[in-house]
Amino acid sequence: MFRKIVLGCLILVNTVAFAAKPRPLVFNGDTLSINTEYKRRQCGTLNTENNIIEVSGIACSRVTPGYIWMQSDETERYIIATDAKGSTRYATINFTKTIRWDWEDMSGGVYNGTHYLFIGAFGDNDETDGNFHIIYFPEPAIDLSHPNISITPSSIRYIYPDSIKHNAEALMYDSIEQMIYIITKKYYQPCKVYRLPFRLDYGNEVQKLEYVCDLGIQSDLGEGPNPSQGFHLVTAADISPNGKYILIKNHNNISAVFSWTLIWERDGNESITETLKRQPEVIGCYQYESQGEAICWLDNHVFYTTSDADGWNPPIYLYYQSYPEGIENVADQKKTKELVLEGNILYIRTQEGLFTLDGRRAR
């Protein structure tokens, strides 16, 4: 009990210190710049009496705008859809078969004109399991009159190229490259990024991931190099619908001081691999979340986060950016709207015309 009290006091002191003076992050030898373009507000609270507990992955619906798919690392039989307020369950996907336990992250994206959802069944805290799967299925429409959906998912089984049984908690899909990215969760050492092309014909063959890069952990905060202060323990990631921005977040379960969300901006048509090898920025308004394990883009300028929150009623946060030329986010307008896909690019069609996901008129 005494040790728990002392640890709680240390966390409180560090949290207060962080709120008063944000710490810099030295990443791959350089102090990162702070991205101040985003603002943060709580938009809801997940009512776990009506929904799920231990949320470890979220993805915004691209088939039925306005809803967020959520998965738990406490169940491997279903996922749910709620809105950003989090009070009501609007849809449940029940899976007709179970594919491994310990689901850790989810993502969405487009492949050959179809929207897919991906779930990373790859948690392995003890690094002894080795039975890793990426679960995937076409995203269904949400019909409020028929909220229960039954799906038989497919899966890709994989191994790592170094034959090590890594623990991972972050998954993202790039619709441009049609590539799945997985990021390992490491303590006090760099987290590793791997990738695998998404295909529908892998069948039961075990696939070998390709190594991409390490995410740096080198950190010197004026108190001497200390690996525990670096960017480790990655828990979530996502790529914006237009493929331009990458978010990767971590949480340090010892101190809130050393928890960050990083953002990379893709340069033209370069690969995600090349983007991640450059230095990111730190989202300046990000605040520590207890067991913060979920992040997803709503559009190209807005994203959500939520957390395990020790199981019950976690807050849902909205991070938003000012829209270009003062145009409001059409995804939030109270008008008849639908998502339309042209090539691999998503647009929003309203009564007033066709808009990009960042709110600008397309035609």
In this predicted structure, what is the pLDDT of residue 344?
61
Tell which residue, 212, 125, 107, 208, has the closest CA to residue 166.
125
Residues 264 and 333 in one domain: no
Residues 168 and 298 in one domain: yes
Indicate whether 72 belongs to any domain: yes
φ, ψ dihedrals at 255, nearest 5°: -150, 135
Q: Give the length of the chain.
A: 363
Average pLDDT, whole number, for the chain?
83
DSSP state of 206: P
Residues 6+ apart with CB under 8 A from 237: 105, 107, 170, 171, 172, 181, 183, 246, 247, 248, 249, 295
Alpha helices (H) along 146-296: 272-276
Point out which residues pair with 34 in neighbouring strands. 282
Indicate whether 141 belongs to any domain: yes
Residues 121 and 239 in one domain: yes
pLDDT in tens, 249-276: 998 766 677 889 999 999 988 999 999 9
Range of the domain at 190: 23-321
pLDDT in tens, 153-211: 999 999 999 888 999 999 999 999 999 999 999 888 889 999 999 999 999 999 999 99
Q: What is the DSSP string of 212-249?
A: EEEEP---B-SS-B-GGGSS--EEEEEE-TTS-EEEEE
Question: What one-letter code names the amino acid at 272?
Answer: I
Indicate whether 284 belongs to any domain: yes
Residues 261 and 341 in one domain: no
Residues 244 and 354 in one domain: no
Q: With contact defined as beta carbons under 8 Å apart, do 93 and 110 qualify?
A: no
Do the strands 105-111 and 55-60 form a parallel or antiparallel pair, or are they unpaired? Answer: unpaired
Indicate whether 37 belongs to any domain: yes
Indicate whether 16 belongs to any domain: no
Q: How many domains does the chain have?
A: 2
Residues 117 and 228 in one domain: yes
pLDDT in tens, 97-129: 878 778 999 999 999 999 999 999 998 878 778
Question: Half-sphere exposure of residue 265, counting CA atoms within 13 Å on the CB side?
Answer: 7
| Residue 225 CA: distances (Å) to CA of 22, 186, 220 | 18, 18, 4
Indicate whether 1 belongs to any domain: no
Indicate whether 68 belongs to any domain: yes
- Specify the CATH number for the domain of residue 168: 2.120.10
In this predicted structure, what is the pLDDT of residue 311?
61
Indicate whether 6 belongs to any domain: no
